[in-house]
Every structure is written in C-alpha cells, then in structure tokens.
Amino acid sequence: MKKSLLFTPGPTPLPPEALLAMAQPIDYHRSETAVTLIKDVLQKLKHVFQTENDVLFLTTSGTGAMEAAVANLLCCGDKVLVIRSGKFGERWGEICTAYGVEIIPIDVAWGNSVAPEAVESHLTAHPEVKAVFATLCETSTGALHDIEALARLTRHRPTLLVVDAVSALGADDLQMDNWGVDMVVSCSQKGLMTPPGLAFAALNRRAWNAVARSNLPKYYLDLRKAHQSGLEGSVPYTPAITLLTALQCALNRICAEGIRNTIARHNRLAVATRSAIKAIGLPLFAMSPANTLTSIRLPEEIDGKAFIKLMREKHGITYAGGQSHLSGKIARIAHLGWMNENDVIIAISAFERGLAEIGYDTPLGAGGTAAQEVFTR
Amino acid sequence: MKKSLLFTPGPTPLPPEALLAMAQPIDYHRSETAVTLIKDVLQKLKHVFQTENDVLFLTTSGTGAMEAAVANLLCCGDKVLVIRSGKFGERWGEICTAYGVEIIPIDVAWGNSVAPEAVESHLTAHPEVKAVFATLCETSTGALHDIEALARLTRHRPTLLVVDAVSALGADDLQMDNWGVDMVVSCSQKGLMTPPGLAFAALNRRAWNAVARSNLPKYYLDLRKAHQSGLEGSVPYTPAITLLTALQCALNRICAEGIRNTIARHNRLAVATRSAIKAIGLPLFAMSPANTLTSIRLPEEIDGKAFIKLMREKHGITYAGGQSHLSGKIARIAHLGWMNENDVIIAISAFERGLAEIGYDTPLGAGGTAAQEVFTR
C-alpha cells in the first residue's frame, strides 16, 4: 500500500484545503474576487517576510525573482559581490554575468557558510560594489548564512544586500526590516506550501531607489509594474491564478500559527532530524545547518543514487539527492512547509530502513529515538 | 442558484479531470514520473502547434514567451517590423524597445487586420529587418491576421516571422510547418484549457540559427536551456508541475479530438456566435473575426462596464470588457477551449437577457435562434 511522501526542498506537500482550492472552477484574474485575493495574499506575505515593505509577485519560479533582482537593481558594468557556497550562490553569479554585471566572487567550500569578516574585507577593498548577493539557505548544501551579520555590514554602506530566501522563507529566520536587508526574493513551493509557479520579492526604500536608476533591459520581470499593479490588487500580465488561491490557503495557516512560531516549528523539526542523523552515525554535510533541510553525507560504501531511487520506488519516500559534484554523495531531507513531528519520524525511520536494505550496517531505531527525545524535551 | 461560467479569452474553463489532477498530492519535478510527464506533454504540443519542431515550455504567462522570442532571436540595435493592431501587437513593440531593438511599426486601426501588401512594401523598403512580429488573433479586438500570407512573404527572405498565438492556438488555424512560420509562442490558459502559468514556444531551424547569434541578455528566459532540458524530460528551473499535470489532461482531449477537428469546432462556435450577434442587431467589432473570441460593439446608449458587471454579479457569466480606449465600448465573448454548442447558447441567451435588463431594446430569442440554425446546418 504505497503512500507517497515528499521530503524534497521544493516542491513541498500541500495542505488539503490548498489542493481542493485548485480543483475549484477557475476564475477570471481581473474580477473583483481576484482583486480581493491578490490584495489579501500580498498583505499576508508581509507577515511572512517580516516586513512593512510591499511584497510583490511574479508568475515564475524562484529563479525569475532572482533575475528580476539583478535586472531591476543594477546597471550594465556595475560591480557586485557574489557569495558562492553552492549551486544557488553560483546562480546569482551566472545571472549577473548574463546581464554584463561584473562579479567579484567570494567562494566558500560547499557545505560551509560565508564568514562575515570575508565579506567585510571585500566591501572595504571594493567600496564601489553596488550590491552583495547572498543566500539565506544554500539549498544544494543545507547551509545557513548569517544574513543578520551581513546586513550589519551593508546597512550603513551604500551597498545593497540582496538575499535569496527561495527555499528558507518561513523556515529560517529572516527579519528583513529589523536587520536591514534591502531586497528579499522567494517563491511558492517551499515553506509556503504552494505549487511552483509564483515568485515573490520585497524591496526597501534603498532598493527602490536603485530600481529607479537601473538601465538593464526587462519587461516581464519589471518590478515597478508588478509593484504598482499589486497595490491595486491587479497584475500587468495574466497571473497563475490557481496558485494564488492555493497560496491564500497556505498563508492562512502561517498567519494563524504566526511566523515566529512557524520558524520555531521548523527549528524543532531540524534539531530532531540532525540529532537522529547523528544517532544513526552519519555526518551532517553543512557546517551551519539550516532549519529548511538537513544534508547528510552518505557512507562511501553505498551507492547514493541507488539509495534515493530505492526510497522512492519501494517506500514512496522522496528525498533529494546531491546536485553537481555532490550527486550520489549526499541525501537531503527537507522538513519544510506542511510538516510536523510525525513527518520527521517517518523521514528518519524510513531512512534507517533504507540504509539497512541497501546493505549498510545501521542501528535500527536509534534515529527515531533521538528525534523522540528532542520532541519530548 | 449561481452557476459561474467563464467566457473570457483566458483563463478558460478547465475539464474536470484537469481540475482533479491538480488536487492530487504534488510530486517532485525531478522524478522519473515527471520526466515521463514532461516528455509526453512536449510531444503532444507538437500536434497542437502543427509542427515537427520541438516545442519547449517556460513557467511564465504568455508575455514571458513573447519576451523570450525577442531576447533570444535578436541583437541589440537590430531592426524589426512590428504589426500593431491592438494591445498585444503593441506589446511586441514595447518588449523590443525595452531591449534596445529598433522597431518599424505597421499600425493598423484596432479591429482591423494588417494587409499583407503593407507588410510586403515595408519588407521591400527595409530589407535589413531581422524579424516581423505578428499576432494570430489580436485578443484585444478579436481580429484574426492572415499569418499564411505573411509567411509567404518571409519564408524566402532572411527575415523571420514570429507569431503571438497566445490566445488563438488550438482555436484558429496556424500551420507552423506548412506555412513556414519561424517561431510561434503561446500559453496554457486559452485554447489549452489549463490554468495560467505555462508558456510555450516552437522554433524552426532558421529561428534557432538566430538564437545562436543573439547577444541580448537572458537567463530564466534562455530558450536553449529550456529546449535542451525539455528533450530530456527535464527543466533548468523548478517548473509549475501541477499545471503540467493539468495540461496533460487537456492535451489528451485535444489529441483525441484531433487538432483539425478542434479548430473546426471553434470555427463552428464562432460562426454561430457571430450569427447570433448579428441577429440581435449589434455590430461585430473585428473586420476579420477570429475563431477565438467574438468582439461586439455595445450600443452607445448602454454603460458597457455596468453591463459586464451585471452579467457577472447577477448571472454568474463573465465576459471580458474592452481594454485601453475600448473600455466600456465593447464586450468580448470567448468560445475557447473546453466549449461546445451548449456553452454558446448560454453565452448568447444570457447576453440577450442582460441587454434587456440594462434597458436596451433587443429581440429576445433572436440570437439563440440564429445560433441554433448554424448548429443544425
């Protein structure tokens, strides 16, 4: 009796009311109903972004909002700092390069997080850089970055801090206003428990001033249009309306729980997962692991790809494997979005059984026990 | 007892199996299931595009694919012809201008369609133009353009013909290969009976050669990446996976009907609607009306916006009103996608009742009778 469960860092499982909302007859995106929906969703997103700035949305996946940040904030020939500690940090650099923006990379070994001192010394050496592109949770490694410390460096300088919170929004803390982050981008299919297809951005006054000066080409990703329309509950182009209805359901859950509690729940699930993995005897891959997902270095003697495949095909459990050079070497278990203690128990106990089945000698029950201990603390 | 019915030119109503597909638990976009889904959808889209060229998709609305055409085919400073006969023709021009592409506009009064002779004389006068940007059905007016005639002008010249088939794909005929159209863009929420959020493009060899030379900045909209990934059933960025599952259901319907029959059905519905509107005594707005939708010039003595609002609020019937300077002056009835004769009878008979209720003297039953006569011919 197969029961499929997703522990991937996006898409994440959807609450039933969100699924059912999408099965309702579709409505016109320029109706008064849609105006109310869009306004409600954008208002509730401010709570999740922990900001008083307006949040706007695009019908794209998260990468679309990342590209919108580059295309809207910068000018051709600008210099920027890009923190590269995995696939998604590298993506910031690729986008900048595609637009003729000169990047000064700060490379960090995959699994590590950037040292704020390294960013500070680069800012001192290159005071002309227009922006620092950072990642809250580097999804390819599970590493959390200290955005609060980075914001302390940028908020009194003319340099903007732009944060990819694509996977971590709602799971790891990001206090946009309190910390002084200039722009945050995210998307629907992670902590927001909605299918992929919507991306979000919030910009503060400093960021909007940069938008006014930007000369890079953009049309569909023009944030001024998305912003102005959003204030009126409208859209410049037909939006993914069914995803907005699902998002409203998901946001209702987060707003009822309260974003601080949502983040605390994710932290509890992450702590339990990490404790369980240690009890199983495997090393965590990230030095400073995020609440979003736990990356596990798989034993060298097992075929990591075969393990991921076995878990999906035999157990109905989908973990994410490693990306790029980590393919086959790590497993990534997301405890993200519509997840609670019971989901972590499943993720961990299935992980143990899978290891045993693939021939790795593992102490059955140790992981679950460790997680239980965290949950009953 | 309200029954809501959408007669808007996107989104259009979804078949029940597509709605239910979206209510299923979401799956991972890098699973083998997803590979099979993506390959199947892209294969079936070739039937709808009437092409042997590969079709690729983006997670954007239709405008994203329009921008992708400009950003991928052209170089900064290129000259292009843009046929502007409504809001969406104008959009081609706006996108080109945003990218530093010089446009030579061919302006046509809203409601009219371009004369191929006008395009020919421009091509002769400006042999250096890299592309002609055209629209199959100009959704803001309901006018159909003679793409076959335009392709006759471009296919033996080095100039590319790029067609916005956003609203008309699957409703009005567009024989990409037979006619020699170089690039076609469309999206999910019109004839393809799927929610908004997916856009499509097909390019022939000539168009791909232009892509190889293009130097405009793009990343998320890079068609080479979307193309290469699609061939492998993969995606460069997280796709709107729930919309792909709905699309598969819709494409199964179109492939079972056969695209030639699908287009013939839309033609029958359009002919009946036009006949009904004439019987009611109102003028059609478009000189060469499309199968996609029928635009009706509303009587001057009624408040067009109030009429659209009344129909939605009292009758649950959503027509589209006019855009830009046509706001309040026309109504647009789409007979598009998951529609048959009964839907047209509803659209027409409700239209008659609405006119009567708003105080316009109209012969009740005349429209429905005229439609019936078309259907029983």
**Inter-chain CB proximity B22 and A19 less than 8 Å:** yes
List CB contacts (< 8 A) between B217 and chain A. Answer: 71, 98-100, 216-217
Q: How far apart are CA A150 and CA A170, in angstroms?
A: 19
Compare CB distances from B29 to A11, A219, A239 and report the shortest one's residue: A11
Least Cα distance to B96 among B127, B112, B72, B120 occurs for B72
List CB contacts (< 8 A) between B63 and chain A. Answer: 219-220, 236-238
Please identify which residue in the block is written with the tokens 């409208």: A234
Both tokens of residue B22?
């979206």
Mean pLDDT within B210-234: 97
Give residue-wise pLDDT tens across range B330-377.
999 999 999 999 999 999 999 999 999 999 999 899 999 999 999 999
Average pLDDT of chain A is 97
**Inter-chain CB proximity B238 and A20 less than 8 Å:** no
Task: Tell me what pLDDT residue B131 has.
Answer: 98
In CATH, what class is B5-10+259-375? alpha beta
Task: Tell me what pLDDT residue A83 has.
Answer: 98
pLDDT band at B2 (very low <50, low <70, confident <90, very high): confident
Give residue-wise pLDDT tens across range A342-355.
999 999 999 999 99
Q: Are A157 and A180 in contact (CB under 8 A)?
A: no
**Inter-chain CB proximity B238 and A67 less than 8 Å:** no
In CATH, what class is A16-257? alpha beta
Task: Tell me what pLDDT residue B195 has.
Answer: 98
Segments making up each domain of chain B, as ranges: 5-10+259-375, 16-257
* A2 pLDDT above the threshold of 90: no
List CB contacts (< 8 A) between B90 and chain A. Answer: none
Give residue-wise pLDDT tens across range B61-82.
999 999 999 999 999 999 999 9
List CB contacts (< 8 A) between B241 and chain A. Answer: 11, 195-196
Q: Are A172 and A194 in contact (CB under 8 A)?
A: no
**Inter-chain CB proximity B238 and A196 less than 8 Å:** yes
Give residue-wise pLDDT tens across range B240-260.
999 999 999 999 999 999 999
Q: How far apart are CA A152 and CA A120, in angstroms?
A: 10
Task: Tell me what pLDDT residue B174 has.
Answer: 98
Give residue-wise pLDDT tens across range A95-111.
999 999 999 999 999 99
Report the percent of chain A where pLDDT is more than 90.
Answer: 99
A289, β-bridge pairs: A143
Both tokens of residue A155?
């908020």
List CB contacts (< 8 A) between B30 and chain A. Answer: 320
Nearest chain A Cα distance for residue B5, angstroms: 9
Nearest chain B Cα distance for residue A277, angstroms: 23
3-state secondary structure of B240: coil
A246 φ, ψ (degrees, to nearest 5): -65, -40
List CB contacts (< 8 A) between B312 and chain A. Answer: 31
* A139 pLDDT above the threshold of 90: yes
CA A375 to chain centre: 24
Q: Between helices B341-357 and B366-375, what is the axis angle to 10°?
A: 170
Compare CB distances from A100 to B62, B196, B217 and report the shortest one's residue: B217
Q: How far apart are CA B253 and CA B259, in angstroms?
A: 10
**Inter-chain CB proximity A196 and B239 less than 8 Å:** yes
**Inter-chain CB proximity A13 and B25 less than 8 Å:** yes
**Inter-chain CB proximity A25 and B10 less than 8 Å:** no
**The overall pTM is greater than 0.90:** yes
Q: b or e along B338-375 (b: 16 or more beta carbons within 10 Å of the residue's beta carbon)?
A: bbebebbbbbbbbbbbbbeebebebeeebbbebbbebb
pLDDT band at B216 (very low <50, low <70, confident <90, very high): very high
List CB contacts (< 8 A) between A196 and chain B. Answer: 29, 59, 238-242
Report the percent of chain B where pLDDT is more than 90.
Answer: 99
Least Cα distance to A235 among B11, B235, B276, B131 occurs for B11
**Inter-chain CB proximity B237 and A23 less than 8 Å:** no
Residue B362 gets the label, from left (phi > 0), alpha (psi -120 to 50) or beta, of: beta
pLDDT band at A177 (very low <50, low <70, confident <90, very high): very high
Q: How far apart are CA B367 and CA B344, in angstroms?
A: 10
pLDDT band at A264 (very low <50, low <70, confident <90, very high): very high
pLDDT band at A259 (very low <50, low <70, confident <90, very high): very high
Q: Are A356 and A362 in contact (CB under 8 A)?
A: yes
| In chain A, beta strands by DSSP E | 5-6, 55-58, 79-84, 102-107, 131-135, 137-138, 143-144, 160-164, 183-187, 199-203, 293-297, 317-318, 320-321, 330-334
**Inter-chain CB proximity B27 and A13 less than 8 Å:** no
3-state secondary structure of A91: helix
Least Cα distance to B46 among B164, B205, B175, B166 occurs for B175
Q: How far apart are CA B271 and CA B269, in angstroms?
A: 6
Four-residue CA torsion sign, B364, B367, B370, B372: negative
CB neighbours of residue B315 within 10 Å: 18
* B288 pLDDT above the threshold of 90: yes
- Residue to mutate among A4, A22, A30, A87, with most B CBs inside 10 A, is A22
Q: Are A334 and A343 in contact (CB under 8 A)?
A: no
pLDDT band at B135 (very low <50, low <70, confident <90, very high): very high
DSSP secondary structure of A244-258: HHHHHHHHHHHHHH-
Mean pLDDT within A109-120: 98
**Inter-chain CB proximity A100 and B62 less than 8 Å:** no
Please give the order of strands across the beta sheet that includes A293-297: A293-297, A330-334, A320-321
Q: Are A85 and A113 in contact (CB under 8 A)?
A: yes
- Residue to mutate among A17, A19, A26, with most B CBs inside 10 A, is A26
Q: Are B322 and B275 in contact (CB under 8 A)?
A: no
Nearest chain A Cα distance for residue B20, angstroms: 6
Least Cα distance to A311 among B31, B242, B37, B233 occurs for B31
